[in-house]
A and B are shown apart, each in its own frame.
Chain A
Amino acid sequence: MTSLINALPGALAQGLIWGIMAIGLYITYKVLEISDLTVDGSFCTGGAVCAMMLIGGHNVWVAMLVALLAGMVAGFVTGILHTTLKIPAILSGILTQLGLWSINLAIMGMKANQALNVNNYDMLVSLRYLQDVSKGLRPFWQHPLFSVGLFTVAIIAVLYWFFGTELGCSIRATGANGNMARAQGINTNFNKVLGLMISNGLVALSGALLAQFQSFADINMGRGAIVIGLAAIIIGQVTFGKIFRNFALKLLAVSLGSVIYYVVIQAVISLLDINSNYLKLISAVIVAVFLAVPNIMPNLQKGKKEAGHA
């Protein structure tokens, strides 16, 4: 139990960081209704770019901006594969992800990982800051929960504004009904590319934050990102769907879904004291459960109703 309590703030912070990735995924998965597998690659791209920029002596904000842009480029590639070249969305994402593997290695100087010494760089977040703040060595606003939380709120605010603009509305229409959108003069292909760019930009930003938080970038850091993102979206929906109706609140639910996911994982690991090699298996089970719940529950109810009518 103590191990869980000790690990909790870290898990919460990590959940918030991955939550930004999940918000990015929400834009493709829910708004555009595209399953985009680019994210496993673009997440790592963000982390790798940020790490290398910091190592190269750049300001952390510049590093994050470049990471964001790199993610957008990845989304652009997937978008072009899907729209101009008419390759199915899932396959387009897989192709970009595959290609990114090599690119990410190249970004990291052909190394599988790059360490970031906390003492050498002025970072936005770090697991170390968490301890520092509790020891009183740093001001409270450098606490990862605070800084990442603020970052999340800012991102949600910008997205909320954007999806209320003419352009943002047209992206929503593109996902909701492509035929209708085109009949209303909306360039659906352009919008899909734009949506994929925004999405992967956020995913890369999240990767950049994680690289800082864990003090390294790793070629495998994005592996399974899509699963975590879907988990966050589904958990958020199952948990808050009934009360959060507004778009901004829906995005907040995604972020909270990610936090819940990390806390559950952490609890399972700490309380059951299992080998961390089973982490992926546990993740898969948790996601499967949350994905299945909304499918099975109405079925159960429907089954009851049908039985009642018969």
Chain B
Amino acid sequence: MLKIENIRKVFNPGTVNEKVALNGLNLELNPGDFVTVIGGNGAGKSTMLNSVAGVYGVDSGNIYIDGVDVTHLPEYKRAKFIGRVFQDPMMGTAATMQIEENMALAARRGKPRTLRTGISNKEREFYREQLKILELGLEDRMTAKVGLLSGGQRQALTLLMATLQKPKLLLLDEHTAALDPKTADKVLEATEKIVAANNLTTLMITHNMRDAIEHGNRLIMMYDGRIVVDVSGEEKKNLTVEQLLNLFSQASGSDEVDDKLVLS
């Protein structure tokens, strides 16, 4: 479903701030894969997701989604294939617009924006049903401005919006990191539910090792702009946090495991 071929991304090339964020990264996802992504700060996780989403171009390599070469497509055109939830709860929704308006915008992802009405009564009913899935009571506040919602509610809404129009690929960048533990669990639960119900191919970045092990069918670990661990199936199911730390130390070639590097 997703094929990343040898991509390289350098920030601020030729300056003292030069940073090789992705260094010959390869990854292939099968349809229905739910992959959790872990790795230390600056490992290149967000850069990988942003490169796939087209937030910026890559310096070399190719990206294919469902067989289509999207390497040179602008962000808004790739959106047709991709649903996204960001780390920052403010980023995924338009605060000054209503809940239902936000949903209507998302429901038209990848479709031309015409002079037809921005939201019809028929869709409103559909959105109400969809909002019920979240169990946050948002179905009764559909005309409220999104800016009035809490971070957790906004993330849950963004998640729903990302999947209203079934994406070929769902990209989640630490989408629960800014939430309190209880809310984070709820949003993660909703994620699990929505991904399973739609059989979505998903990439989920997390800093929580336990979440990374518990969710999905495959786990990858990044280090220095590359994937250094890739486990799936039974092997992943039986992973422990301890084993994961060991894998990390082997892969990164350091004798001592710096817990902070992985867990922070």
Contact = CB atoms under 8 A, between A and B. Distances in A.
B53 A167 contact: no
Which of B116, B118, B119 has the largest number of chain A CB atoms within 10 A?
Answer: B118
Given A184-B106, A186-B105, A169 B80 contact: no
Interface in B2-31: none
A173 B117 contact: no
Interface in A160-199: 162, 164-170, 172-173, 176-177, 179-188
Interface residues of A, number: 22
Interface in B97-112: 97, 101, 104-106, 108-111
Contact of B109 (A165, A172, A184): A184
Contacts of A184: 79, 105-106, 108-109, 161
B94 A180 contact: yes
Given A184-B106, A186-B105, A188-B76, A172 B94 contact: yes
Which of A162, A167, A182 has the most C-beta atoms of chain B within 10 angstroms of its own C-beta? Answer: A182
B245 to A, nearest CB: 34
B117 A165 contact: yes
Contact of B92 (A164, A165, A168, A180): A180
Interface of A: 162, 164-170, 172-173, 176-177, 179-188
A240 B109 CA distance: 35
A181 B84 CA distance: 12
A168 B118 contact: yes
B75 interface: yes
23 contacts: A162-B115, A165-B114, A165-B116, A166-B116, A166-B117, A170-B105, A172-B94, A172-B97, A176-B94, A179-B86, A179-B92, A180-B91, A180-B105, A181-B105, A183-B75, A183-B82, A183-B84, A183-B92, A184-B161, A185-B77, A186-B76, A186-B79, A186-B113
Nearest to A172: B97
B228 interface: no
Contacts of B206: none
